[in-house]
Structure 1
Amino acid sequence: MENMKAIRRIRAMLVDIDYRVKEKFTQIILLMKGKGRMFRLYDRYEPYFYLDAQTERIHSLLAVVARDSTDSRKTARATRIEPVKKTLGGRERELLKVYCTYPYEVPILRSAFGKYPAYEHRILFTRRYLIDHELVPLKTAVLEVDSKRYVQKVISIEDEFIPFKTVSFDIETYNPMGAPRIDKDPVIMVSYAFDNEKDNESGMLTFRDCGKKSFVQVKKNEKEVIESFSGLIIGADLLVGYNSTLFDIPYLTDRSKAIGAHFYLGRDKKPPKVQKRGNRTKIRLTGRVHIDVYPILRFLSTIGAVKLSRYTLEEAYREIIGSQKLMVKRLAIHAMWDDDGERAKLAEYSRMDSTAVLEIFRKILPIEIEISRVTKTPLSDASISLAGQLVEFELMNASQEANVIIPNIPSAEEVAERTRNPIQGAYVKVPVPGVYDNIAVFDFRGLYPSIIISHNVDPYTRNCGCCGAGEVHVSPTGARFCKKQVGLVPKTLRRLIERRNKVKDAMKRALSLLGKETQFCQMAKSAVCLQSKHPETFGERENEEVALLAARNQVLKILNNSFYGYLAYPRSRWYSRECGESVTAWGRKYIQDTIAEAEKEGFNVLYGDTDSLFLLLGSKTEKDALDFMKKVNTGLPGTMELELEGFFPRGVFVSKKGAGEKGARKKYALISKEGKIKIRGFELVRRDWSAIAKQTQIAVLDAILKEGSKEKAVKLVQDTIKRLEDGKVPLDELVIYTQITKDPKRYEIMSPELSAAKKAIQRGVPLQKGSVIGFVITRNGKSISEKAEPIEFAKDYDPGYYVDHQIVPSVLKILEELNVTEDELKGKGKQKNLGDFFF
């Protein structure tokens, strides 16, 4: 009775999870968010794995005391072993479930029991807990807990999200040598921005006067600045930075050691901990969560949710928020700090960095919330996960629900073997280069996911044995898949697609109530930037609801479209070459069959690629095209469906370099009836093309597609060339950005980017593998590499280079389809009338 009185109910949201080893058990630590601050709950949880061994072996296995091969002081012993029924390889089997006390014992026991096949012995302990329990990160739970805050029972899980108290931050360092030196160069400014309910509170800590700025707190010295920042964030739940994992936090940590400052970011007042997740790095704080926006944007850019050619804070802010933030030259920071007149501007710049990070974070938070919820992944891990990992997390959760053994991580030898022979890709019918009118574009809705579901493609439905010769799905490669028992992969994928359809319906209903139905298509494509350009669209509550729905839709889309890639990924737990080959083979079959059917119906097929089909209407009508689509759909299996993307009045398709009469894959531009230009494969989002080349290219496409004017397009190019030759183009429009893919010191061939990188390093700019170097081709030097100068140090530019290697190449392939030559672009040839070529 006394124990019952100690039980109480609480309502809180799971934010993060960790564990610690106690004297006789392993304690799970659950970081929860209530209506006030964060707090901890606890649980007891036993590590375990599975052995494929006979029940008779239980007694002898329990007697084994194993020692760690690398540390003889560590021993391990199974606390209990029980026989269980699990599905393994598509069939139900009896396995042994081996329990122990501590997570580190699992690999020791697995090694000691090495003669028996083992399963689920390499699953992160905290993920194992989430797989086995009802709790879902960033969903609110009603729980029963005892007086020591141990969870006794989960009463319910609800979708309610409890808002965080968030603070963003950024640091500036003294840098007379370009790169700051930990032993010599101080942290001169620490800026911050709090996300309050009513308004933002931003400020900056420093130790020199900054012109009486109201947001500036001037401390005695660097040590006091760092320690004041640690105390400043005491009430925050989330600490958000930009590249803070690799720069800000490590520099603050190391600099604090150098000057004897007490630096901490967690509620335990201890330094941050660095953890590795594969090739990703994570900063763990006690009592709050650190989020780095930088890797999130890289991931979102990779999957197409945002479009960034560079990952600087300035570019991200411009693209996502739609505004320009205050800029200063990085290498001038130390000089601005030493200049009493310039220090105030540096303070404004520093503060704006923090507010910019916070604004960007607000836009991407909904999608991070939904990644956490859908895949049962803590926010700190969701922010550094890749698409394949999210698929793996979802399949792990589904395996537990279905009582299926999770496949093991492949060995290095298995990965190497899988990598040797790549899987044949999609079918492509390349276009004949040219400018075309009246194009109908169709695509198969989720082609690869549809194939997986419709044909039950799964590593464990192959050669099932339960279906007769004529009762199986036979792929074009000859692989056979069961028709009777649905595999885990297609079952999970179907469930996700059904969830997404429900979310899309909910979005439509919400928008309908608000009278904003026309915005559905835009919102369904991206949850990011949703409110940046139309902040007046909804009220605050509706804003949050619709943004979360749009984010959930985007996350489910990411997952659905990533299943095929995960099946074919050599490091995947669910890798299957036969599955990967079958999916692409069926894909080639369906697109080729559809092309043949279109030609049979009298359409001229312009282009086909993977899951898309471009038809020239010619004398056909739009109704004829829609009737063709309906006819194709009547013959498709399962969930497969051909959809109309749209009718486009005009499009331009260019040739591939050295391909002669053949067109390039995924390199075209179309204009819709509404006047919007859709561009694929051109230089607009490439880093290694200057801004002026990109601007010229889009202007040329605009002139051709919107106005049908070759003359205007040619004049645009000629005017740009003249501006270049007259020296009237600003240097910032001429910067070429290239990512350094190797250690700059190990490059053997002297390329322009390497030359610029070496010059930057010599001047103290920190560059390494993965860094992006921005450079301008100047007049100083003989070769292009010699002329490459980092943008920070460039004084002039070589107009001949930009004409011959940037402007002309960016537009020539387009204008060649109108019989325009390079000489004509340079003002040396005679132009013909557009009507001779266009209509």
Structure 2
Amino acid sequence: MSDPEFHRQHGFLLTRHAQDLRKNKAINLSAVKSAAANIEPKTQTILWGWTPKGTVKLVFEDQNPLFFVHSEDQERASQILNRLHIAHHANPLKHQSFENKPVSAMYFSTIDDHFKARQQLSGADIETFEHDLKLQDKFLFERNIHGSFEFIGTPKTQLDYTEYTNVRIKPSKIKPVFNVLSLDIECSMEGELYSIGLYGHPAQAASANDKETSSHKLTRTVIMIGQPETTDDPKINIIWVKDEYQLLMTLENQIQLLNPDIIIGWNVINFDFQLLHKQAKKQNLTLRLGRGLSPMSWRDSRTEANQGFVTLPGRVVIDGIDALRTATYYFESFSLENVAQKLLKRGKKTEDVDNRVEHITHDFLHNKQKLAAYNLEDCKLVWDIFIHTEIMDFLILRSQLTGLELDKIGGSVAAFTNLYLPKLHRAGYISPNLPPDGGLASPGGYVMNSLPGFYKNVLVLDFKSLYPSIIRTFKIDPMGLIEGLKDPDNAIPGFKGAMFSRHHHFLPNIIEELWAQRDQAKKDKDGPRSQALKIIMNSFYGVLGSGGCRFYDTRLASSITMRGHKIMQKTALWIEQAGYQVIYGDTDSTFVLLDSELSECQANGIGKQLAQDINDYWVKELREKYNLDCYLELEFETHYHRFLMPTIRGSEAGSKKRYAGLTSIDGKQEMVFKGLETVRTDWTDLARSFQHHLYRIIFDDQDPTHFIKRTVQATLNGENDHQLIYRKRLRRPLRDYVKNVPPHARSAKIADQKNAALGKSLQYQNKGWISYVITLTGPEPIEYRESELDYQHYLEKQLKPIADGILPFIGLDFDRLTDQQMDLF
């Protein structure tokens, strides 16, 4: 390189993988054969990335897979591997295991040898450490490369990317502007492909600042099987093909032409791409959808039926459902129709969403242009959901903060490992292995017994990020635990025998950095960044208490939750010593009852003063008892004008995690429900509506008698039939419901028996949602209901439990109010 600066660039990771070079199908096999004596087996790590100048492929060929063993096992391990002719070399290190034993690193030329060696040593009862880390992931996190990177190397121009060798790489900061494409397929119930929709902008990510101002630049394409027709809608580009083979080949051509970095969709992996893979196999076709015409690969899940993973080298496939769940979005149903209606206030282009498959087939046979519009609108709905939620920005920021892949689902353990392990290695430790038994459960969050009642003026005081603040304050840390146990006299006591070093730790500092970034993000009103930081911080307790994490130790998780118990109990004691009654406490929230005659202004003043006083108490307590700085922060969160803490059904004891209240938000009174029927998906719309209106009437000090009687009578008269539908998920394959068959499974069995008799495809065999009603003959699916509705069931199982949760507190009884109506009926 005559001018190294010419090739210096910034980029963002798209995909990563490692492979054994001699197994790389791209190698000229005849050349390998002729020069076999001169070729050493080795690995190849490949990073695909976005840059402002185009796609890059970075190739590294100097990485050796490795794992660690205790140095006392090194000689025996080498003897075993030598007997099996597994090439390796071992080096004693200054590092230690968490058992305070010295370790040696064992290096291998290939991933295959590394895997075989691990198996053989395990069979010989020699423990190996960090053997499960993927070579490409280790390469990145040891260099602190999280999403963004800077690199320099020797370029070679390829078809649709530039390949770099002799690469040097380091961390960087850059915000990518991805080329995003939304994909959706339409097909028959049997999986025969009809059309494929493609929607996107060639130079604009699906982010909040994207506006459809230049429609001529947008991709609005539908590949459709059928004879060419004149297009009615000039905004839709229909590519007509004669059969499924041509449909797939045209998709391949369009992907290469449009060259997206990201492909998005709705259930796009386990429906669209799984079906594309299946149909391509039927056609004896290898779909080349990756960069450089590299083939798409599919891998079935080992644990979930009809689930799998798709790989497109150089491109990322992101499922909208998984992305929203990762960002902690919640919907009763994650169907595209429901989510679009909730977020965008619009839905699919069909008159009958529930029977859309029949309409799709009808339109394919009789109105292909209508089908094309429907297909493209599904693509656009996904695109607009991504824009509305800023989900792409969230995924980019999460990757930059933790090093997680853009398409990674969940990933709390991987994020923790990426952040923590490099620091641990530099401190002279290697990580422990996963617990062999999956780990023991640690105590959960604090929940105190509640005092049931119907109250005026209840305050809620919340500890801000309680578990992260406990980690910061009490220096809870995996390495800190090992160091603290070495010098217990100068350590901070935890629980279950834990002792934590005051000075040797990493996690409290990681939390501190993330906390400061989140405060700044909130100040800047940067929603995606704030949410990403919140999720990462709050996940660390769960990681330390998870048997799926290599740093799992019950002493760590228990020292967080049990400390939380003590903090909540002490806080409640101080509040009561100040003359107020605590009626409930839950994880990080304390509910305080005030005088019912206080004004809202007076109640708010007391809430703020209580929070300040408790914070001052904790600063003093931790300084005097432990000589620690306090990072606990109690905040006054809510003032409820009226508040209901119900009893446990059939008992006089107070319930837990269930309450309702009336508060003011931005000057407007709003009802808040927690854990009650109105927020649960397995209750009918009638129950939810009834509860919301009943509680509001009572909270406004009105008599609910007329409303209750009117609702009961309307239900008996059949006026509320449209609100009596249950909707519930089948969490197992239908065939697994044998002995104990709940109502929703019985309905699903009835529905698929009817489907089979009518020659229709079975809908409920592999999990999914079922909508049903309760009739005089039992549960029936709504699409095949034959019997009269059992109104008595809905009164007894839906309305009465809700009414009984609040009426006794105002001296009324549901049965007495409604007996006469039911007798007359």
Task: Please report the TM-score for the alignment, with normalisation by the length of structure 2.
Answer: 0.82
Residue in 1 that maps onto 2:741: 750
In the alignment, is residue 654 of structure 1 matched against residue 681 of structure 2? no
CA contact (8 A) 1:603 1:615 kept: yes
CA contact (8 A) 2:457 2:639 kept: yes
Once residues 173 and 331 of structure 1 are traced to their aligned partners in structure 2, the CA distance between those partners, rounded to angstroms, is: 14
CA contact (8 A) 2:67 2:105 kept: yes
- The 3-state SS of whatever aligns with 1:438 is strand
Q: Which sits farther off after the overlay, 580-589 or 436-445? A: 580-589
Residue in 2 that maps onto 1:83: 92
- The 3-state SS of whatever aligns with 1:152 is strand
- Give per-residue Cα distances to partners, 1:334-377, cap 9 Å, x unaligned: 35533666665544333222111222233211211122111112
Q: Paired residue for 1:571, among 530, 537, 548?
A: 548
- The 3-state SS of whatever aligns with 1:658 is coil
TM superposition shift of 1:36 = 4.9
- Give per-residue Cα distances to partners, 1:73-132, cap 9 Å, x unaligned: xx6311x433332253285x6432222111222232234455654221111222111112
TM superposition shift of 1:308 = 0.8
TM superposition shift of 1:767 = 2.8
Q: Paired residue for 2:194, among 188, 195, 217?
A: 188
- The 3-state SS of whatever aligns with 1:766 is coil
Distance of aligned partners of 1:703 and 1:402 in 2 relative to their CA distance in 1, 3 Å threshold: farther
One-letter identity of the residue aligned with 2:132: R
Residue in 1 that maps onto 2:139: 129
Q: How does 1:734-749 map to 2 (within 5 A)?
A: 734-747=724-737, 748-749=739-740
Residue in 2 that maps onto 1:600: 577
- Give per-residue Cα distances to partners, 1:198-249, cap 9 Å, x unaligned: 4443342323479954224443233333322222222222111211222221
Once residues 276 and 397 of structure 1 are traced to their aligned partners in structure 2, the CA distance between those partners, rounded to angstroms, is: 32
CA contact (8 A) 1:743 1:768 kept: yes
Once residues 466 and 117 of structure 2 are traced to their aligned partners in structure 1, the CA distance between those partners, rounded to angstroms, is: 44
Once residues 562 and 121 of structure 1 are traced to their aligned partners in structure 2, the CA distance between those partners, rounded to angstroms, is: 24
- Give per-residue Cα distances to partners, 1:223-281, cap 9 Å, x unaligned: 33332222222222211121122222122222233345664432354552124688583
Q: Paired residue for 1:257, among 281, 284, 287?
A: 281
- Give per-residue Cα distances to partners, 1:563-591, cap 9 Å, x unaligned: 22222222321111122223222211111
Residue in 2 that maps onto 1:313: 336
Once residues 732 and 726 of structure 2 are traced to their aligned partners in structure 1, the CA distance between those partners, rounded to angstroms, is: 18
Distance of aligned partners of 1:462 and 1:385 in 2 relative to their CA distance in 1, 3 Å threshold: closer
Residue in 2 that maps onto 1:150: 165
Once residues 470 and 179 of structure 2 are traced to their aligned partners in structure 1, the CA distance between those partners, rounded to angstroms, is: 44
CA contact (8 A) 2:153 2:168 kept: yes
Residue in 1 that maps onto 2:188: 174
- Give per-residue Cα distances to partners, 1:363-417, cap 9 Å, x unaligned: 211211122111112213x2x2343443344333443454531222232xx22xx
Once residues 794 and 101 of structure 1 are traced to their aligned partners in structure 2, the CA distance between those partners, rounded to angstroms, is: 68
- Give per-residue Cα distances to partners, 1:463-516, cap 9 Å, x unaligned: 7567776643334x46241343333333433333233234334x1xxxxxxxxx
Once residues 360 and 616 of structure 1 are traced to their aligned partners in structure 2, the CA distance between those partners, rounded to angstroms, is: 42
CA contact (8 A) 1:431 1:663 kept: yes
Q: How does 1:780-799 map to 2 (within 5 A)?
A: 781=777, 784=778, 787-791=779-783, 797-799=789-791
Once residues 424 and 696 of structure 1 are traced to their aligned partners in structure 2, the CA distance between those partners, rounded to angstroms, is: 37
One-letter identity of the residue aligned with 2:676: F
Q: Paired residue for 1:800, among 785, 792, 806?
A: 792
Distance of aligned partners of 1:461 and 1:33 in 2 relative to their CA distance in 1, 3 Å threshold: closer
- The 3-state SS of whatever aligns with 1:167 is strand
Q: Paired residue for 2:58, among 18, 41, 45?
A: 41
TM superposition shift of 1:665 = 2.7
Once residues 469 and 226 of structure 1 are traced to their aligned partners in structure 2, the CA distance between those partners, rounded to angstroms, is: 66
Once residues 230 and 13 of structure 2 are traced to their aligned partners in structure 1, the CA distance between those partners, rounded to angstroms, is: 44
Q: How does 1:463-474 map to 2 (within 5 A)?
A: 464=483, 471-474=490-493
Residue in 1 that maps onto 2:249: 227
Once residues 427 and 240 of structure 2 are traced to their aligned partners in structure 1, the CA distance between those partners, rounded to angstroms, is: 60
Q: How does 1:437-586 map to 2 (within 5 A)?
A: 437-462=456-481, 464=483, 471-475=490-494, 477=495, 479-505=497-523, 507=524, 549-586=526-563
Q: Which sits farther off after the overlay, 318-327 or 687-696? A: 318-327
Once residues 798 and 521 of structure 2 are traced to their aligned partners in structure 1, the CA distance between those partners, rounded to angstroms, is: 45
- The 3-state SS of whatever aligns with 2:253 is helix
Once residues 79 and 65 of structure 2 are traced to their aligned partners in structure 1, the CA distance between those partners, rounded to angstroms, is: 15
Distance of aligned partners of 1:405 and 1:722 in 2 relative to their CA distance in 1, 3 Å threshold: same
Once residues 173 and 485 of structure 1 are traced to their aligned partners in structure 2, the CA distance between those partners, rounded to angstroms, is: 61
Q: How does 1:378-457 map to 2 (within 5 A)?
A: 378-380=405-407, 382=408, 384-400=409-425, 402-411=427-436, 414-415=437-438, 418-419=439-440, 422-457=441-476
- The 3-state SS of whatever aligns with 1:356 is helix
Residue in 2 that maps onto 1:513: none
One-letter identity of the residue aligned with 1:190: I
Residue in 1 that maps onto 2:378: 353
TM superposition shift of 1:35 = 2.5
- The 3-state SS of whatever aligns with 1:256 is helix
Distance of aligned partners of 1:741 and 1:277 in 2 relative to their CA distance in 1, 3 Å threshold: closer
Residue in 1 that maps onto 2:178: 164
TM superposition shift of 1:29 = 1.0
Once residues 758 and 335 of structure 1 are traced to their aligned partners in structure 2, the CA distance between those partners, rounded to angstroms, is: 24
Distance of aligned partners of 1:426 and 1:10 in 2 relative to their CA distance in 1, 3 Å threshold: closer
One-letter identity of the residue aligned with 1:39: V
Once residues 636 and 362 of structure 2 are traced to their aligned partners in structure 1, the CA distance between those partners, rounded to angstroms, is: 61
Residue in 1 that maps onto 2:634: 642
TM superposition shift of 1:150 = 1.5
- The 3-state SS of whatever aligns with 2:308 is strand
Once residues 700 and 750 of structure 1 are traced to their aligned partners in structure 2, the CA distance between those partners, rounded to angstroms, is: 33
One-letter identity of the residue aligned with 1:351: L
TM superposition shift of 1:27 = 1.2
Once residues 734 and 12 of structure 2 are traced to their aligned partners in structure 1, the CA distance between those partners, rounded to angstroms, is: 46
Task: Please report the TM-score for the alignment, with normalisation by the length of structure 1.
Answer: 0.81
- The 3-state SS of whatever aligns with 2:642 is strand
TM superposition shift of 1:62 = 8.5
Distance of aligned partners of 1:811 and 1:239 in 2 relative to their CA distance in 1, 3 Å threshold: farther
TM superposition shift of 1:284 = 0.4
- Give per-residue Cα distances to partners, 1:133-181, cap 9 Å, x unaligned: 24322x25253445661253236612x2121111112222223xxxx2x
Once residues 126 and 689 of structure 1 are traced to their aligned partners in structure 2, the CA distance between those partners, rounded to angstroms, is: 47
- The 3-state SS of whatever aligns with 1:379 is coil
- The 3-state SS of whatever aligns with 1:740 is strand
Once residues 151 and 726 of structure 1 are traced to their aligned partners in structure 2, the CA distance between those partners, rounded to angstroms, is: 79
For structure 1, the residue ranges without an aligned partner over 5 or more in a row are 68-74, 508-519, 521-548, 831-839
Residue in 1 that maps onto 2:33: none
Distance of aligned partners of 1:4 and 1:284 in 2 relative to their CA distance in 1, 3 Å threshold: same
TM superposition shift of 1:462 = 4.0
RMSD between aligned residues: 3.3
